[in-house]
Amino acid sequence: MPRDSNQLIPLDASGQPSGCNEPIFGLDAAALTARMEALGEPAWRGKQIAEALYDQWVRDISGITTLPKSLRQRLASEGWQVARPVIANVFQSADGTERYLIEFPGLIGKGETAEAVWMPEGDDGEAGDGSAEEAKDWRRATVCVSSQLGCAVNCQFCLTAKLGLQRNLTAGEIAGQVIAVLERHAVRVGRDRVNLVFMGMGEPFLNYDNFMAAVRLLVNEVGLSPQRMTVSTSGVVPGIERFAQEPPGLRPKLAISLNSPNDAVRAEIMPINRKWPIASVIEAVRSVQLRPRERVTFEYVLLGGVTDLPEHARDVARLVRRSGLSAKVNLIAWNPGPGIEFSTPKPEAVERFRSELAGEGIPAYVRQPRGRDIFAACGQLKRTIEG
C-alpha cells in the first residue's frame, strides 16, 4: 500500500504541514528554488542546495557550505533535513557483487529496507577469487536499485513477490539508493563507466511518477546519462505507453520481462499476463521511439523444463521477428529461492537456447548470475539477512 508521503511531516494546529520536516533529498532544483523564495531568500539559493545535494552529496544541512551559516541554522531549526537513504547492511559475494539493505532516515528501525546491488565488472562476469583487491579493481560496474518495497505482480518464480507490495518508494528514496552506492564506491560521475538498472524490488511502471521523477533527478541534477540506464517492466501496458511519451533525452532504455512466448504459459508464471497479454505488450513497446542504435531488451528467465526447450526458443524468435522491433534477448537461468518450486536449467540447455535464437538471427546473450551466494541475483531480493 502506498505510504502517505505526508506521514513524516509534523502538522500544525490547523492540520497543515509545519516547517519542512520532509526530506529535501528528492526535491529538484525548481522545487528547492520555490522553497527558498517562500522563505524570502534569493532564488539561486535553491540551485546551491541542489548542487550540494546532487553534486557534492552532502548529508546534512550544515554541510551546505555555499549557504551562509545563519541560513543553515535557520533551516535546521525549522526542521529542514537532507534525510538521504543510507546503507544499513552490506552482503559481499565471492564474485565481487555487493547487496545492500538501505534504510530511510525518519523510518530507521521500522524494518523497512530497500535493496540495491553493486556488480563490478572487469572479470567478464566469471566468479573471482573474492579477494579484497579484486573487489576494488573494477573498470565498469552496474548498480541495480529498487522502485518499490516488495511487489504486487506476483510472478511465480520471483522471491520479491513473496513480500507482496509494502509501499511505493518516493523519488528521493529511489535516487538516494543510487547515490548511496555511488558514494560507497567513490564513483566519479561522467568519468567512470557505471550502468544503472531499475531491476531491483518492485515494478517500476506501477510506481511510474516516482520512478520517472527519480530518473529526472539522476539525469538533470546528478548528471548520469539516461543511455546508461535500463528500466525493466513485467509488462504494464499503460506504463509503457506513458514511457513512450517521455523525451528521448530523459528516458532510460527499456527491458521487457517476456519469460515465455506463449500466453497460456506466461499467464501461469506471470499473472499480469491475464490483464496485459503478450500482443498488447508488444504493441505498446512499438510505440516507443527508439534512439539510433537503441534496442529493446527482452529478458527471458529460463525455468528448467518449463520455458527452456528449443521450441520455446523458436517461438521467441518468431515473436521478436514479427514485432519488427530492434531487439535483443537476455537469457537468465532461474535463480533459486526458498519456497519456490522451479528448477535451474542445465548449462547445456541455456547454451542450446541461446544458439537456437542466434541461429534464427536474434541476438541473444546469457546473463551470468551475480551474487547468488548472497541472494543478490535477479529475483532474489527479499531482505534475506541470513548469509
Given 98, 112, 115, 173, the catalytic residue: 115
Q: Tell me how far, at minimum, the Cβ of 264 lies from ligand SAH, in Å.
A: 18
115 is catalytic: yes
Secondary structure (3-state) at 302: strand
- Tell me how crowded residue 292 is: count the other CB atoms within 10 A of its CB: 6
Stretch that binds ligand SAH, among 29-37, 109-117, 229-237, 353-361 (CB under 6 A): 229-237
Q: Tell me how far, at minimum, the Cβ of 133 lies from ligand SAH, in Å.
A: 30
Is 115 near ligand SF4 (CB under 6 A)?
Answer: no
Is 24 near ligand SAH (CB under 6 A)?
Answer: no
CB of 199 within 8 A of CB of 377? no
Among 276, 334, 353, 375, binds ligand SAH (CB under 6 A): 334
Secondary structure (3-state) at 120: strand
Q: Which residue has the cell 528501525?
A: 109
List the x/- string, 246-265, binding to ligand SAH by CB under 6 A: -----------x-x------
Q: Which long-range contacts (C-beta less than 8 Å, at least 24 apart) are formed by 232-235?
A: 232/197, 232/198, 232/199, 232/204, 232/256, 232/257, 232/297, 232/299, 233/203, 233/204, 233/205, 233/257, 234/153, 234/155, 234/203, 234/270, 234/272, 235/270, 235/272, 235/273, 235/276, 235/278, 235/281
Among 28, 299, 308, 356, binds ligand SAH (CB under 6 A): 299
CB of 306 within 8 A of CB of 336? no
Among 24, 32, 83, 153, binds ligand SF4 (CB under 6 A): 153
Q: Tell me how far, at minimum, the Cβ of 180 lies from ligand SAH, in Å.
A: 19
List the x/- string, 157-186, binding to ligand SF4 by CB under 6 A: -x-xx-------------------------
Is 273 near ligand SF4 (CB under 6 A)?
Answer: no
Is 155 near ligand SF4 (CB under 6 A)?
Answer: yes
**Integer angstrom CA distances of residue 18 from 39, 43, 61, 77, 316:** 13, 21, 18, 12, 55
Q: Tell me how far, at minimum, the Cβ of 7 lies from ligand SAH, in Å.
A: 25
* Per rule CB under 6 A, count of chain residues that contact ligand SAH: 17
Among 22, 98, 203, 308, binds ligand SAH (CB under 6 A): 203
**Integer angstrom CA distances of residue 277 from 237, 296, 328:** 9, 18, 20
* Per rule CB under 6 A, count of chain residues that contact ligand SF4: 11
Is 150 near ligand SAH (CB under 6 A)?
Answer: no
Is 281 near ligand SF4 (CB under 6 A)?
Answer: no
Residue 226 site contact among ligand SAH, ligand SF4, none (CB < 5 to 8 Å, cut-off depends on kind):
none
The angle at the Cα of 148, spanning 165 to 336, to the nearest 5 degrees, equals 75
> Concatenated DSSP letters for 86-117?
EEEEEEE-TTS-EEEEEE-TTSTTTT--EEEE
144 is catalytic: no
C-alpha cell at 292: 539510433
Is 210 near ligand SAH (CB under 6 A)?
Answer: no
N- to C-terminal Cα separation, the chain: 29
CB of 2 within 8 A of CB of 167? yes
Is 234 near ligand SF4 (CB under 6 A)?
Answer: yes
Is 233 near ligand SAH (CB under 6 A)?
Answer: yes
**Integer angstrom CA distances of residue 203 from 207, 256, 257:** 7, 11, 11
| Cβ-proximal residue to ligand SAH, closest one | 379
The contact set with ligand SF4 (CB under 6 A) reads: 151, 153-155, 158, 160-161, 202-203, 234, 379
Catalytic amino acids? Answer: 115, 378
